[in-house]
Amino acid sequence: AFFLRVSLFRLKDLELAKLGDSDVHVKMLAAPINPADINMIQGTYAILPPLPAVGGNEGVGEVLEVGRRVAALKPGDWVIPASSGLGTWRTQGVFPEEALLKVPSDIPVLCAATLSVNPCTAYRMLTDFQTLAPGDSVIQNAANSGVGQAVIQIAKASGIKTINVVRDRPDLAKLTERLMALGADHVITEEMLRKPEMKDIFKSVPKPRLALNCVGGKSTTEMLRHLQPKGTMVTYGGMAKQPVMVPVSAFIFRDVRLRGFWMTQWRKEHEQDQQSVATMMDALCQLIRKGQLSAPACTEVPLQDYKAALEAAMKPFTSSKQILLL
């Protein structure tokens, strides 16, 4: 059925909208294909654009021209979407100024293109749910995802230990090596979560106060067992398409907290609070400049090969994000 979906896509020449006084003409440079983009196309996401629509919620572009009321941006600046639904899979576009956020142009283009979704999600989840100090630990599943890779690096920069759960796969040793190189403290398979050897990990690392879940189902229940009393599990995705099951004892005797997180909602709630957005963006750009936060493993694809990129993005066990070069 997916191939039918790819055939719903067309590469089309659209006429550029006229530049209004508060508009910005942007030449797009690069835009990733994220799971949420695919969900939107499938009609299973919480926000759906009116059709026909341009795909893509994330990416980076260069400002070519600005309307006469635009004060904060000038030609040559780099911009990323301020919220979802911008439609970034295009070569050029005219957008209202408030739909864009300026980012420094001295960071690598792939870092900028993948900045607004995964690193921001990782940053917020590490910041907003538990007060973590150096030496504390976090456990997460789908640790090889874009968010997972960002969590490992941001945690490492703050002295927080990570226990990273991935699905067993043929190239497990290679994946483990890659995550360790990013700063992971432990990489384990979902099966290992149930094994007595987990005790060995907790000899060197304290039990986690925070668990990050984007899978659901059995692996999530197993991950929850290792949380400290009064620990928090934050769910931000459901790749297994199975519910989160919690043993009653975890609620009663360990008072664990279950929360949800959606970056789009956070942005909506902080529209008037530009300070928290700026603080987060500055922190992430500083980490990028210091070499402590890199773009996820990427495969760069020219826009005309978008069908191949979409198909690759749907494959299981993908450890590389497809990035459309525009």
Domain ranges, residue 30? 6-114+297-325
More confident residue, 188 or 14: 188
Q: What is the CATH number of the domain that holds 22?
A: 3.90.180.10
Whether 102 and 140 share a structural domain:
no
Whether 148 and 228 share a structural domain:
yes
Q: Say whether 236 is catalytic.
A: no
Name the active-site residue from 45, 123, 236, 306: 45
Whether 87 and 196 share a structural domain:
no
What is the total count of domains within the chain? 2
Distance CA 205, CA 200 (A): 9
Whether 132 and 248 share a structural domain:
yes
pLDDT at 2: 43
Per the domain annotation, does 226 fall within a domain?
A: yes
Per the domain annotation, does 276 fall within a domain?
A: no
More confident residue, 271 or 281: 281
pLDDT at 261: 98
pLDDT at 6: 58
| Torsion angles phi and psi, residue 144, rounded to 5 | -90, 0
Among candidates 37, 141, 143, which has minimal Cα distance to 88? 37
Per the domain annotation, does 106 fall within a domain?
A: yes
- Amino acid at position 18, single letter: K
Whether 245 and 305 share a structural domain:
no
Per the domain annotation, does 269 fall within a domain?
A: no
More confident residue, 35 or 192: 192
Query: What is the Cα 163 distance to its own chain's centre?
Result: 18
Per the domain annotation, does 72 fall within a domain?
A: yes
pLDDT confidence tier of residue 1, bands split at 50, 70 and 90: very low
Whether 14 and 104 share a structural domain:
yes
State the greatest distance between any 2 C-alpha atoms of the chain, in Å, as a whole number. Answer: 66
Whether 148 and 250 share a structural domain:
yes
Angle, CA of 109, 113 and 119, to the nearest 5°? 115
Q: Average pLDDT for residues 295-302, to the nearest whole number? A: 92
Per the domain annotation, does 141 fall within a domain?
A: yes
Per the domain annotation, does 95 fall within a domain?
A: yes
Per the domain annotation, does 270 fall within a domain?
A: no
Q: Which tokens is 9 given?
A: 């896509």
Write the DSSP symbol of residue 15.
P
Distance CA 155, CA 280 (A): 14
Rg value, the chain, Cα: 20
Distance CA 119, CA 240 (A): 22
- Amino acid at position 174, single letter: K
Whether 218 and 131 share a structural domain:
yes
Whether 102 and 169 share a structural domain:
no
Query: What would the pLDDT profile of 110-127 be if each residue is shown by its tens digit?
Result: 999 999 999 999 999 999
Q: Which of 242, 263, 284 is the last residue of a domain?
A: 263
Write the DSSP symbol of residue 191.
G
pTM given for the model: 0.92
pLDDT at 5: 56
Whether 80 and 196 share a structural domain:
no
The share of the chain scoring above pLDDT 90, in percent, equals: 78
| Torsion angles phi and psi, residue 58, rounded to 5 | -145, 155
Q: Which of 245, 263, 281 is the last residue of a domain?
A: 263
Cis amide leading into 52 (omega within 30): yes
Q: What is the CATH number of the domain that holds 167?
A: 3.40.50.720
Contacts of 253 (CB under 8 A, 6+ apart): 229
pLDDT at 135: 96
Q: Is 133 exposed, middle or buried (0-12, 13-18, 19+ CB in 10 A)?
A: exposed
Whether 138 and 101 share a structural domain:
no
Among candidates 190, 205, 200, 287, which has minimal Cα distance to 239? 190
pLDDT at 9: 75
pLDDT at 287: 98
pLDDT at 47: 82
Among candidates 146, 87, 126, 133, which has minimal Cα distance to 293? 146
Query: What would the pLDDT profile of 39-97 be if each residue is shown by its tens digit?
Result: 888 788 888 888 788 999 999 999 999 999 999 999 999 999 998 889 999 999 999 99
Which secondary structure element, helix H or strand E, spans residue 94, and what is its range? strand 92-96
Q: Average pLDDT for residues 256-275, to the nearest whole number? A: 94
Q: Average pLDDT for residues 175-200, to the nearest whole number? A: 95
Whether 104 and 129 share a structural domain:
no
Q: Is the pLDDT of residue 232 over 90?
A: yes
